[in-house]
Structure 1
């Protein structure tokens, strides 16, 4: 028995394909432009450039899988690309999600050190350190995501399930630990860093005005990403899994369908991070807004 009797799956097929197509178009254009500008202005960003580059790579990695998911939903949730590629597609999504959170956390820590402890870190943190830390982020995210690939992803209806169709109770326990390590801890680190940064910025008048503006803009971008993309997805994923565990025990709550629909909306919102992450490029590079204004001026003629 599964949770089919508790929820209606029609909403997913109508909602996700248009979102995926929109994210694919905007994400490829924004990340392509952002990565090109990043490489052109590599030294201007300082030591965070390595993290910004990796952030862009996680986005491109995931965006390339979206056409297959669009085909999947257009074919009424029938996966025709094989079981192995189904797992690879889901793995790429997890790399993008938790990799983005990891690299955004690294950027936050570097900003914190540059503003709160500038004399201690000046000249001591190099690109070599950033590369080593980036490699650790990739390794940790891969280790966290790898167990997910050992769960059954396809069912008798040839669907490619994001979580699993079997051992849902065991998967819920795994996902709770995954959420704690991959989301909660980085979120608290980011919150702590920027909470301290805001206090320092409000109390100190000697900090460079441009640096202060960049830090406040990055804080706004992080609030946007976490509140729109990451928090709803992680909360609702666990709630939906809990609902499925209950339904397998014959318990069908009135809120199950509402949680399921909210969960599908959060899936659409979380993939928006691949289109919103390039805002980090905008924040770090003063040339991009000028280029955008020139582009808009040309298009108006």
Structure 2
């Protein structure tokens, strides 16, 4: 018994192409606006500008691969661009996902140090440090995934976002480790930094209300971003890989298909971060209304896609 008897792949072809098209359009516009704002506020942002620039670059790099994935799913999951480009395309998603988490975490730590411990770090953190840390973020989390095959043996008909079934057991171990180091730990660090910032600003009487509100607002936005884009993806990716392992062993359960569909929806939510990042990392204006509005619109689109 193989996985095709337990899982229907029709949902992916209906759901992901329109999602990718929408993310591609919104993401390019949002990142174009974000990078333009970055240039205008380069000195104002200080040492975090290096992280902000890298965050924008990871978004743009990933967005440029989406048209190829749209073609892939429109053709019924038939990959025509070769094995190497398949690896590059899937690598760009991981690079964007974990690069976004990593750079947002770095920005959180830098802001924490600047607000809570300004005298200790004054003059000690330079752009050279930011560049070195950025290089580590680019390399550490995403490179191991390149060593897993993304196509089925000699056939390049399919381009897996994880790996083919031969290596799926090993990939689950890698995925769980990546979830811990690339998501859980950075999320706790980010939450701790902005939580402490909010407490410090709220208890200091000399801090103006505008700064307090912006800090609390950013904390809320980041929790929302992690909750919508990152948590569902990691939960359902690991469950889906586990279902593939069980299916490989000859088992077939009713929840396999439900987990598969949930995983595809979470992939759509995961790629949404490339459109939301510019609103989060600059937050030079009242962006929370735009973010909430975009998420509401996205929710309706997801609901419509699931019902079709």
TM-score normalised according to structure 1 size: 0.89
Q: How does 1:178-257 map to 2 (within 5 A)?
A: 178-257=178-257
Ranges in structure 2 where 5+ consecutive residues have no aligned partner = 291-308
> Do the aligned residues in 1 keep the contact of 2:2 with 2:250 (CA within 8 Å)?
no
Is 1:58 matched up with 2:58? Answer: yes
**Structure 1 CA distance, aligned partners of 2:59 and 2:35?**
11
* Structure-2 residue corresponding to 1:28: 28
Bigger CA drift: 27-36 or 203-212?
Answer: 203-212
Q: How does 1:63-102 map to 2 (within 5 A)?
A: 63-102=63-102
Bigger CA drift: 168-177 or 247-256?
Answer: 247-256
Q: How far off its partner does 1:282 sit?
A: 4.2
* Structure-2 residue corresponding to 1:160: 159
Structure 1 residues 55 and 157: alpha-carbon distance in aligned structure 2, compared to 1, 3 A threshold: closer
* Structure-2 residue corresponding to 1:175: 175
Q: Once superposed, which parts of structure 1, at least 4 consecutive aligned residues long, lie more than 6 Å away?
A: none
The RMSD of aligned alpha carbons is 1.8
TM-score normalised according to structure 2 size: 0.87
Q: How far off its partner does 1:281 sit?
A: 4.6
Q: How far off its partner does 1:137 sit?
A: 1.5
**Structure 2 CA distance, aligned partners of 1:9 and 1:115?**
49
SS in structure 2 opposite 1:207? coil
**Structure 2 CA distance, aligned partners of 1:49 and 1:214?**
18
* Structure-1 residue corresponding to 2:268: 268
Ranges in structure 1 where 5+ consecutive residues have no aligned partner = 293-301
